[in-house]
Amino acid sequence: MLKNILKNKKRVFGILFLVFLLAGLRAFEETLFYDPFLRYFKTPNFNNIPLPKLRMVTLFFSLGFRYYLNSMISLGILWLLFKEGKIIKFSVLLYAFFGTILMISFFFVLVKFGSTNKMNLFYIRRFIIQPIFLILFVPAFYYQEKTK
């Protein structure tokens, strides 16, 4: 295993760099992105507090940009891990599909049920702002590679 790591130093350092980029997005999220829900969901007993005032267009573009950045960094990690074009093409389709579904769902729940369905809003938003799909795709593609 150590020989493999030493043989693939550039890939390992590339993956570590991209993981640190993901961590950096998370660490500086309050300064980089417009998201009034960051503080809102950290307040205790947020279920009894009304939703914060929102600039919907700014929120849409901010969440979309954050999802895009997470997706691009995740695709870079997938490329460095698997070096296979089919996996990247399939992942791009999955990221685009899930991103569209999540953004539509988020704003539908926000507009239609925002004040009554805050936990759904919280979890949909979590999928948008966190690289959860990367955590799902890596073991799935690894398993697929091992079963070929």
pLDDT digit string, tens, across residues 16-67: 999 999 999 999 999 999 999 988 988 888 888 888 889 999 999 999 999 9
pTM for the full model?
A: 0.90
Measured at the alpha carbon of residue 57, what is the angle toward residues 52 and 59, in degrees to the nearest 5? 50
- Burial class for 71, CB neighbours closer than 10 Å (0-12, 13-18, 19+): buried
Whether pLDDT at 132 is above 90: yes
The residue extents of the domains of the chain are 2-147
pLDDT digits (tens, 9 = 90+) for 59-109: 999 999 999 999 999 999 999 999 999 999 999 999 999 999 999 999 998
- Burial class for 121, CB neighbours closer than 10 Å (0-12, 13-18, 19+): buried
Whether pLDDT at 6 is above 90: no
Q: What is the pLDDT of residue 80?
A: 95
